[in-house]
Amino acid sequence: MPKPQLARPLVCVVDDDSSVRESLPPLLMQVGYAVRVFASAEEFLTFDGIAGIACLVLDVAMPGLSGPQLQLELARRGHAIPVVFITARAEDDVRQRLLAQGAVECLFKPFTDTALLKALALALGGH
β-pair type (10-14, 53-59) = parallel
Rg of the chain over CA atoms, in angstroms? 14
Please report which confidence band the pLDDT of residue 56 belongs to, taking 50, 70 and 90 as the band edges. Answer: very high
CATH 3.30.9.10 fits 10-123, yes or no: no
Residue 91 pLDDT > 80 = yes
Banded pLDDT at 9 (limits 50, 70, 90): very high
Closest to 104 in 3D by CA, of 116, 91, 88: 116
The alpha carbon dihedral of 6, 12, 18, 24 has a sign of: negative
Task: Using the predicted structure, report yes or no on whether residue 127 has a pLDDT greater than 70.
Answer: no
pLDDT above 90 as % of the chain: 88
Question: Has this prediction a pTM greater than 0.85?
Answer: yes
